């Protein structure tokens, strides 16, 4: 369904047709979600899992709903130059803290991130021309990179590269 209003109840009826007849299969009332990935109803980021799931929609619109503490959680960057972030991320005056850009090795209990997997490293990795990140506080960020190639690697806390907008 397209162009539905957020948090609105709709009655939906499913029909099946055969031999010129139309039969009702199911009728029910459904309420649309408050979030929808557009500017009016952005996806709400409430948990670390929500933050990681942002990579499923690089052109989506997101809003941080509460502070997120990423302690003991290693991340790979969310976006790359092959798939840049081209949506909006409203930090909503909230904070992301104790973020570590790395992957935890369960055998050695250490974090590493190989620069072979991306040339642009940071929470967002690569923010494209249409990407915008604003109104966000970063606290206690760690970026640990093991350079395993001879290519240049661009590293930042929020993004290794930004062709779009970062403000506040």
| DSSP-derived 3-state class of residue 57 | coil
| Rounded-to-integer distance, Cα 6 and Cα 40, Å | 9
Q: What percent of the chain has pLDDT over 70?
A: 78
Q: What is the pLDDT of residues 59-101, one digit of tens each?
A: 999 999 999 999 877 777 899 889 999 999 999 999 999 988 8
**Residue predicted with more confidence, 151 or 40:** 40
Q: What is the pLDDT of residues 42-64, one digit of tens each?
A: 999 999 999 999 999 999 999 99
Residue 104 pLDDT exceeds 60 = no
Q: Which residues share a beta bridge with 75?
A: 101
Mean residue pLDDT of the chain comes to 83
CB 54 within 8 A of CB 60: yes
> Mean pLDDT over residues 131-157, rounded?
82
Q: What pTM, to 2 d.p., does this model score?
A: 0.72
When pLDDT is cut at 50, 70 and 90, the band that residue 36 belongs to is: low
How many Cβ atoms are within 10 Å of 140's Cβ, its own excluded? Answer: 13
The vertex-42 CA angle with 38 and 46, nearest 5°, equals 155
Nearest to 26 by CA among 10, 36, 15: 15
Burial class of 84 by CB neighbour count within 10 A (0 to 12, 13 to 18, 19+): buried
Tokens, residue 131: 């990407």
């Amino acid at each position: 369904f397209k162009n539905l209003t957020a948090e609105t109840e709709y009655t939906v009826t499913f029909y099946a047709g055969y031999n010129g007849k139309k039969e009702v299969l199911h009728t029910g009332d459904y309420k649309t979600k408050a979030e929808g990935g557009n500017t009016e109803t952005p996806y709400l980021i409430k948990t670390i899992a929500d933050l990681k799931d942002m990579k499923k929609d690089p052109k989506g619109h997101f809003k941080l709903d509460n502070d997120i503490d990423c302690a003991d959680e290693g991340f790979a960057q969310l976006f790359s130059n092959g798939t840049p972030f081209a949506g909006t991320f409203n930090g909503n005056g909230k904070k992301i803290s104790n973020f570590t850009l790395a992957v935890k090795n369960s055998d050695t209990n250490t974090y590493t991130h190989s620069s072979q997997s991306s040339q642009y490293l940071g929470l967002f990795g690569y923010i494209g021309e249409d990407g915008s990140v604003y109104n966000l506080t970063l606290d206690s960020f760690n970026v640990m990179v093991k350079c395993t190639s001879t290519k240049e690697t661009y590293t930042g806390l929020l993004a290794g590269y930004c062709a779009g907008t970062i403000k506040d």
